[in-house]
Structure 1
Amino acid sequence: HTDLVRSVIFSPDGQTLASASDDGTVKLWDRSGRELQTLTSHANRVRNVSFSPDGQTLASASEDGTVKLWDRSGRELQTLTGHTLSVLSVSFSPDGQTVASASIDRTVKLWDRSGRELQTLTGHTDSVLSVSFSPDGQTVASASRDGVMKLWDRSGRELQTLTGHTDWVLSVSFSPDGQTLASASGDDTIKLWDRSGRELQTLTGHTNRVRSVSFSPDGQTLASASEDGTIKLWNRSGRELQTLTGHTDWVLSVSFSPDGQTLASASA
């Protein structure tokens, strides 16, 4: 990549890594780090990538205001248009039939695989920075620059507003069992919440904004990526296990491999 890397994710089979960059491209890599494909049709920075559960489709979110769907060979399948500003995050539902997107236009949109817009979720008062489906597919979590997270049902009805962070909420992720929600914030902390929106833990240790959080497949470990240049690993009770150093700039995204043995990180 020729500019900072915003997002990284493993394919469900663990064999491919996708990365999104401010250089306007998505790249696919094998586990040895060999570049397989460069996906080039976005007209602006690519902010986020997500694989479908079957691993056959990749969704990318861009500052060009669109979401694009691609097959594993890098062929463009669909362009999802409807947001009026940059799209910052994208997530597939567990059944692979619905795509959620989050935008600077303060909305979350739900789409079907053919690119048809199903719902627009409105309620945030600033840019929506991250969106994630619960493992059972019934709940959508959104994180916003307005400092709160919201939980929605599939019909677009707002269920809960989670308040507690004192700055932007930059990333949100469900645990594999769906019982816990992790949020990363510009207030340098991670918070853990239960499904009812009750705050369980605040994880402190990073010295700058926390950009990304990801649970391990067994749900026992949480990884966080920060503008302090480190990744931290935590257990479910909020105890810090490890600090991973090596990047020389902000770490913007972190993702576990499906077998839980490898962690990928993307940096500025």
Structure 2
Amino acid sequence: QFLDSYGLGRWIDLPESESYLWTHLAYHLVEAGRGDELWRLLLDFDWLQAKLAATDVNSLIADYDHLPGDSDLRLVQGAIRLSAHVLARDKTQLAGQLVGRLQTFQESGIQSMLQQAREWDGDLWLCPHAASLIPPGPLIRILEGHTSWVDAVAVTPDGRHAISGSWDNTLKVWDIESGEEIQTLTGHTSSVYAVAVTPDGKHAISGSDDNTLKVWDIESGEEIQTLTGHTSWVRAVAVTPDGKHAISGSGDNTLKVWDIESGEEIQTLTGHTSWVRAVTPDGRHAISGSGDNTLKVWDIESGEEIQTLTGHTSLVYVVAVTPDGRHAISGSGDNTLKVWDIESGKILVSFSGDAHFFACAISPDGKTIVAGDASGRVHFLRLMGA
């Protein structure tokens, strides 16, 4: 009855002044048992363009969540989400974005919508002749805003926000669901190379080419502390599980342990003979990777070096530790990943790739390793055997 009171033959004729219904029509159609009508709208290019013009791209994306089980709608939603950073600044590119991302999908509803898009007689636009843009799939969204390379990303424990560090000297806080930029954190005077988030999700710690670390309030964007002491760039930052201490690795060949609340330097860990570019703590220990081809295991409280892990024949770029704290995984310029027994310092297994390994992460069960290499490949490796 609420919807019928508008007396419209076509929802596309809804006056632009009806901002509430432009935003919430999908909800009311589903509540009224008119899901089929919503399905047709969400595959109607003219409606999509009108909805986008009347609201914004995130409102359009949200409409598809009301019919979650339809595969055609998932593809269209995925294409719009991938295009969100473009459509946020230029709504007239919807036709070109959909055609460029969905041409290879032969579903009749999608092909009919694309034909509508090709016939759109709005502003002058460029129509792709082939599928020239990334199709919907594993990549969900592109976050745009930095003006130079992005060298570091961390995610808050609740999974809602990402914090990125860039060579434009800033960090940005993003809403992962909407893709919106929430905060820009300014204060570093050179490139930001590393970022970590405290376990409570309230603070970010960044490391920079200006030789400092900074502690930030994520919600307000305020700079809380500047940690000074390194004499070269800081490319690695990690936070202990209790959230009290940060550990940094630097081009001055040292690691430093910091009290996050006071900003005080507690320990300097010396022993590497080249830069330290990777560090990960498990609470009592920190494990570092260095340009001297080694990893080292440190006692955080005493600053003592416990183990030196040797076996790589080139620079160690990345280190990760399994959730149980027993094993470390390292990636190197010798094109290998190695799994180490932390207590004994022994190599348990090696995996040889075709390029330098620059990134590595471990699944919560400690069994799956995800590693990125210099060729652009992402390797998913399952730790098998005893």
TM-score scaled to structure 2, two decimals?
Answer: 0.59
Residues 225-259 of structure 1: per-residue CA shift (max 9 Å, x gap): 1111111111122110111223x221111111222
1:45 aligns with 2:149: yes
Distance in 2 separating the partners of 1:158 and 1:39: 35
Q: 1:158 aligns with which of 248, 265, 271?
A: 265
Q: Classify the secondary structure of the residue corresponding to 2:338.
A: strand
CA distance in 1, matches of 2:349, 2:160: 33
Residue among 217, 221, 224 paired with 2:327: 221
Larger Rg: 2
Cα distance in 2 for residues equivalent to 1:249 and 1:82: 35
Counterpart in the other structure of 2:204: 99
SS in 2 for 1:41: coil
Which of these residues, 293, 297, 301, is aligned with residue 188 of structure 1?
A: 293
| SS state at 1:44 partner | coil
Q: Deviation digits for residues 107-134 of structure 1, max 9, x if unmatched? A: 0000001210000000000111111111
Higher fraction of strand? 1
SS of the residue aligned with 1:150? strand
Whether 1:244 aligns to 2:348 is no
2:224 counterpart (118, 133, 148): 118
**Deviation digits for residues 5-27 of structure 1 (CA, Å, limit 9, x no counterpart):** xxxxxxxxxxxxxxxxxxxxxxx
Match of 2:277 among 167, 170, 174: 170
Which has more helix, going by share of residues?
2
Per-residue Cα deviation, 1:7-48 (whole angstroms, up to 9, x for no partner): xxxxxxxxxxxxxxxxxxxxxxxxxx7111111211111111
Matches of 2:148 and 2:281, distance apart in 1: 29
CA RMSD of aligned residues (A): 1.1
Count, aligned residues: 233
Q: What does 1:1-268 correspond to in 2, within 5 Å?
A: 34-73=138-177, 74-113=179-218, 114-154=220-260, 155-175=262-282, 178-195=283-300, 196-237=302-343, 238-246=345-353, 248-268=354-374
TM-score by length of 1: 0.85
**Separation in 2 of the partners of 1:266 and 1:103?**
22
- Please, which runs of 5 or more residues in structure 2 have no aligned partner? 1-136, 375-386
Shift of 1:54: 1.2
The unaligned stretches of length 5 or more in structure 1 are 1-32
Q: After TM superposition, where is structure 1 displaced by more than 6 Å over at least 4 residues in a row?
A: none
- For residues 247 and 268 of structure 2, what CA distance do their matches in structure 1 show? 10
For 1:161, the aligned partner's letter is T
